[in-house]
Chain A
């Protein structure tokens, strides 16, 4: 129990440090937000007034506390560029990205785990070679290029899928999932490769263990043995899968750009090109928090599935 509490506290501490680094980075850039909004011609007096209105004249630590205090309560403040609530923007775009990542994650698990298990059981056979090829090619094809190829093939040539864009749930579940199928595959293939490879090596390790040989010698049916093997082999797989979930958020932003999906990438990249620094700060904080949470879950699951390590 204490160990779990300690890990959670550790993640929160890292997140706090990250928020400070992010804040300092954003607030020490040479271009002031007032200049971005008011333009090059604005007088010093106008700038001072703008800074006063937006609390930018306060000491940095005070601004930081105000920001982080709001974030804890779910209030990310207002965009300096157009005064819209940042919480609103994040609430609009986060679910889209989250769903894309979730679908890609499910796709990766559903393909990778059977592939990894089968290739470990049939070492050196056709399925093993196939899995090996997928694991090398899968980690080497950049998702955004795969996305372009999938659009050209499945969207334009065959016309089975929309060539981009996001169809919301209320337009029908089928159309909705169809619009996310290609992006989910483009995002997930890398993780099919990573997770299937991990599954294969982990299952192969357990198959060589003494208890498996003893079980075989005792004449326990293969089916029963396999249940034990899979249970023992899953700890590293689950860990890698949970970590992958966190990493997927970063790459999802690029995939969204390819498929023209209005997720967090739109919030982040439009903020970058409009120099809406507060928006950038908050989006990055949210994604880092998700990443940390995924790593924490990976860590906790690993210790839960393999209690030997806790000692």
Chain B
């Protein structure tokens, strides 16, 4: 934590991430207007004291929509990474510690899964299954849950690989043999000793993958396969704003794009800073290409 304070970039990243998360959590209290309230008499108004970021083509308050739009973006980013991290840690840890046949099978499976291009498959899966809420019994999940599931699945291989690399190195360490001789069980050694020591690169990777997830959600909403209108989403707002590029209503497309970029910059800066602090040996290289 202390190391974070000494780096201005890290601090900026932390501030941006916290503001995005707090905006999403506190949306009902932050947004001054109902994000769905249409007011045709006040459509396409430029930013003013009343509407800080202006209004859109149906007179909805853009600031309020951006505040609410933080929810689907961060939900997709964070939940997808959670799925990826749970799966990736479980597979990487067991493959790196137990070795043998399971190691071969699981790591080959990870190679195969990593061969699937994320964005196109997210588009295709939503396209094939169809846009619409997912109903399980009396539960109704929004359309984005399909995106979360698929992106989460495809996040497993990169997170499994970094965990595997760490687990492989750690399980050969002397302290692990010492623990084994003390009579500690497999599970206790794996989760109690090996895991904490190979978690650093996983945390770094996970932070950077949240950023990718936010962009994937925005891109899908932009082409009409993510958050369903009229619900607010940053990508959906940009899609609505496309025709105003020609007529000069700049606030319709500048602010939603800034919201995406600032939250993504936040997670990227935080991820970079965490890598420099937690994993200095690999500080400069990159790990996330998408």
Contact = CB atoms under 8 A, between A and B. Distances in A.
Contact of B118 (A22, A197, A200, A250): A250
A197 B119 contact: no
B289 interface: yes
Given A136-B268, A145-B257, A284 B219 contact: no
Contacts of B28: none
B230 interface: no
Interface string A264-296: 010011011001010010011001100110010
B191 interface: no
Contacts, number: 147
Interface in A205-221: 205
Interface string B157-169: 0000000000000
B53 to A, nearest CB: 15
B218 interface: yes
B95 interface: no
Interface string A11-34: 100110110001001100101000
A288 B260 contact: no
A31 B219 contact: no
- Pick from A137, A141, A202 the residue with the most CB of B within 10 Å: A141
A9 to B, nearest CB: 13
B264 A253 contact: no
B255 to A, nearest CB: 11
Interface of B: 9, 111-112, 115-121, 123-125, 127-130, 211, 215, 218-219, 222-223, 225, 235, 238, 241-242, 245-246, 250, 253-254, 256-257, 260-261, 264-265, 268-269, 272, 284-286, 289-290
Contact of A269 (B125, B223, B235, B246): B223
18 contacts: A11-B115, A14-B112, A25-B128, A139-B211, A140-B264, A142-B261, A145-B261, A152-B250, A194-B286, A250-B120, A268-B127, A272-B124, A272-B127, A272-B128, A283-B124, A284-B124, A291-B115, A295-B115
Contact of A272 (B121, B225, B284, B289): B225
Interface stretch (A56-64, A165-173, A240-248): A240-248
A144 B219 contact: yes
Contact of A152 (B215, B245, B269, B285): B245
Nearest to A205: B284
A17 B112 CA distance: 9
Given A144-B222, A236-B285, A254-B222, 17 more contacts: A29-B128, A136-B9, A136-B265, A139-B268, A140-B261, A141-B257, A144-B218, A149-B257, A151-B245, A156-B245, A198-B285, A202-B285, A204-B284, A240-B289, A247-B290, A268-B120, A291-B115
Interface of A: 10-11, 14-15, 17-18, 22, 25-26, 29, 31, 136-137, 139-142, 144-145, 148-149, 151-152, 156, 163, 194, 197-198, 200-202, 204-205, 236, 240, 243-244, 246-247, 249-251, 253-254, 257-258, 265, 268-269, 271-272, 275, 277, 280, 283-284, 287-288, 291-292, 295
Contact of A142 (B116, B218, B242, B284): B218
A201 B112 contact: no
Contacts of B272: 136
A284 B238 contact: no
A163 B286 CA distance: 34
A148 B219 contact: no
Contacts of A15: 115
B280 to A, nearest CB: 13
Interface pairs A-B: 4 shortest CB-CB: A272-B127, A201-B284, A250-B119, A145-B257
Contacts of B129: 29
- Secondary structure type dominating chain B contacts: helix
Given A152-B253, A201-B286, A240-B289, A142 B260 contact: yes
Nearest to A258: B242
A53 B154 CA distance: 37
A148 B241 contact: yes
Contact of B120 (A140, A205, A257, A288): A288
A152 B241 CA distance: 12
B120 A280 contact: no
A202 to B, nearest CB: 8
Contacts of B245: 148, 151-152, 156, 163
B237 to A, nearest CB: 11
Contacts of B128: 25-26, 29, 272, 277, 280
Nearest to B214: A142
